[in-house]
Amino acid sequence: MQFLGIAVVMNDKCNAHCAHCFGDYGPRKSRLLPSEAIRSLIDQAKDIRAVGREFAVAGGEVFLYWDRLLDVVGYAAANGFAPSITTNGSWATSPRRTERLISALKSSGLVKLEISVDQFHQAFVPIVRIKTLLRAAKESGIPTIMLRCHSTKSMRLDAALTGLDVTDLAGTVIVCAPVVAMGRASTQLPPESFYADMDAPSGACAEGLILTVNVAGDVFPCCAGSELCPPLNLGNLLVSPLSEILRATDDNFLLRALVNAGPSAFLPVIQEMGVGQRLPGRYTNICDLCHRLFSDAQLTAVVSQFAARRRREIADRLGLEAEHATGV
């Protein structure tokens, strides 16, 4: 299994408490992934060909731990990775402070700055701080500056960007994704607010996997919600070497079927086994469907049994073919 790179959740504390947050981060959280664990992860990953060179650092709000953030970015860059960070920009309280911190990150090797900008975040972060941050990032020469927006039917992209002008937006990449009903969003947002118009979302994620390590050191195959699904936990970095964790994915038939065929491939067996009523029937995207399959113990059991049966059938067929080929 191949990964474009790694995403590390450095901390779960955040100075915002956005209603759509799938990680349920907030001011009352306090966990930190040990710095030595992150450095060890980098040391191990740089020699593993299955792991690409992207290295994303996220939280929580990562600027709450400035010294640690600067160290992680610098260490990743020094070991051949392309570091990126995600921030809500709340710390950009003055041009001088913002320029100083952004320049330090640029000097340490930061190549991509992702800024969370939408109506959810701007309930906590004044838009003027985003304007200050964008200006400093451009002046410092950060190669890629991205605005990350999340929207629902009532919290739209156009409304989120009204406080930014053409000068602010010039030279930035704007990515808008629909909010998925997972994490805090599943309890704090009304069901009718989600974009959910797909009967069976097509597609798979084999070409876009980012190996994700959460704040507890647990390793997951993607950064789009798999970390909320215990059955997709590949192992723990604080317990096992990364090479051992990745080697186990080669024998994980269920995971390989999921990432190569997509979660929709499991829908027929779900219906056949009579548990289709546990699913809503309409989804936001494949991440929504995947989360619903693997956060429900009964659905996970059905899917796992199906994958195990298919694996045995394939093994038996290959065994028979081998016998015929050798004339046994």
pLDDT exceeds cutoff 60 at 275: yes
Tell the residue number behind the tokens 């994958």, with chain if given: 307
| 93 compared with 322, residue with greater pLDDT | 93
pLDDT exceeds cutoff 60 at 326: no
pLDDT exceeds cutoff 80 at 44: yes
All structural domains of the chain, each given as residue ranges with its CATH number in brackets, are 3-195 (3.20.20.70)
Q: Distance between CA 104 and CA 66 in Å, rounded? A: 11
Q: What is the mean pLDDT of residues 282-295?
A: 95
- Work out the mean pLDDT of the chain and round it to a whole number: 93
Q: What is the pLDDT of residue 160?
A: 83
Q: What is the pLDDT of residue 313?
A: 81
CB 122 within 8 A of CB 163: yes
The tens digit of pLDDT for each residue in 135-147 reads 999 999 999 999 9
Helices then strands, each counted (H, E), the chain: 12, 9
Q: What is the pLDDT of residue 322?
A: 52
The tens digit of pLDDT for each residue in 52-107 reads 999 999 999 999 999 999 999 999 999 999 999 999 999 999 999 999 999 999 99
Query: 26-40, 100-114, 151-165 — which is least confidently predicted?
Result: 151-165
The DSSP string of 124-158 is: TS-HHHHHHHHHHHHHHT-SEEEEEEEE-SSS-HH
Q: What is the pLDDT of residue 19?
A: 96
Taking the CA atoms of residue 245, residue 246, residue 247 and residue 252 in that order, the dihedral angle to the nearest 10 degrees is 90
pLDDT exceeds cutoff 70 at 131: yes
Q: What is the pLDDT of residue 226?
A: 92
Q: What is the pLDDT of residue 13?
A: 97
Query: 47-51, 178-182, 183-187, 308-312 — which is least confidently predicted?
Result: 308-312
Q: Distance between CA 88 and CA 278 in Å, rounded? A: 35
pLDDT exceeds cutoff 80 at 247: yes
pLDDT exceeds cutoff 90 at 178: yes
pLDDT exceeds cutoff 80 at 150: yes
Q: What is the pLDDT of residue 120?
A: 96
Q: What is the pLDDT of residue 58?
A: 96
* Percent helix / strand / coil, the chain, rounded to 5: 45, 15, 40
pLDDT exceeds cutoff 60 at 129: yes
